[in-house]
């Protein structure tokens, strides 16, 4: 069985082609932005609210000569509609906090839900949103519940929702919720 991050990348890789516009909703240290930039995707948008995350992401992309393929945006992912006007093929979220930083600064359930709603409207049929949920902290538990409730409520005529988790793990192990758009709502 694939570990959570390996499986997340596998899901994304299956969807991305040379015409894809993709989003790293939580740039963090830039590893997902780098993964997306190395993929066949045409363009990557990377969002984060923390200066350290923006700097780390830009440096990693620059070190790999891929900065020109990525628009790194210092803003919350809930503001995606202010920056992304085209249809998107894939989105990745790593929910929680930035490793090696202030653990009080975390993603938040309400803003993540707002971002998810907006990104699902932009998502092409056949596109995917992959959320890796780290919930071993107080805000993470709240966010987990909000994201799970929202995802469970999506109409199965338009979306397929997958949960991928190792149920015998201790310490609130991270898991995936993946949402594939199978039909337009209009």
Distance between CA atoms of residues 119 and 109, nearest Å: 15
CA 78 distance to own-chain centroid: 12
What pLDDT does residue 5 have? 95
Contact of 92 with 12, CB cutoff 8 Å:
yes
pTM over 0.85: yes
- Burial track 136-156 (b if 16+ CB lie within 10 A, e otherwise): eeebbeebbebbbebbeeeee
Q: What is the pLDDT of residues 24-73, one digit of tens each?
A: 999 999 999 999 999 999 999 999 999 999 999 999 999 999 999 999 99
Q: Is 185's pLDDT higher than 90?
A: no
What pLDDT does residue 101 have? 72
Q: In the sheet that 88-95 helps form, which strands lie side by side, from edge to edge?
A: 70-74, 43-48, 21-24, 88-95, 123-133, 175-181, 159-164
Across residues 15-30, what is the average pLDDT? Answer: 97
Contact of 128 with 91, CB cutoff 8 Å:
yes
């Amino acid at each position: 069985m694939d570990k959570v991050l390996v499986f997340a990348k596998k899901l994304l890789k299956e969807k991305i082609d040379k015409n894809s516009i993709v989003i790293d909703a939580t740039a963090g240290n830039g590893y997902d932005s780098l993964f997306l930039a190395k993929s066949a995707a045409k363009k990557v948008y990377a969002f984060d609210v923390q200066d350290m995350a923006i700097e780390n992401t830009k440096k990693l992309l620059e070190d790999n000569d891929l900065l020109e393929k990525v628009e790194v945006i210092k803003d919350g992912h809930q503001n995606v509609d202010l920056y992304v006007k085209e249809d998107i093929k894939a989105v990745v979220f790593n929910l929680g906090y930035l490793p090696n930083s202030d653990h009080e600064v975390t993603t938040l359930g309400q803003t993540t839900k707002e971002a998810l709603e907006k990104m699902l409207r932009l998502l092409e049929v056949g596109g995917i949103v992959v959320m890796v949920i780290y919930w071993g902290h107080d805000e993470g538990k709240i966010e987990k519940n909000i994201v799970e409730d929202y995802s469970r409520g999506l109409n199965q005529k338009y979306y397929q929702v997958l949960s991928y988790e190792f149920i015998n793990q201790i310490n609130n192990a991270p898991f995936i919720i993946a949402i594939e758009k199978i039909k337009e709502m209009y």
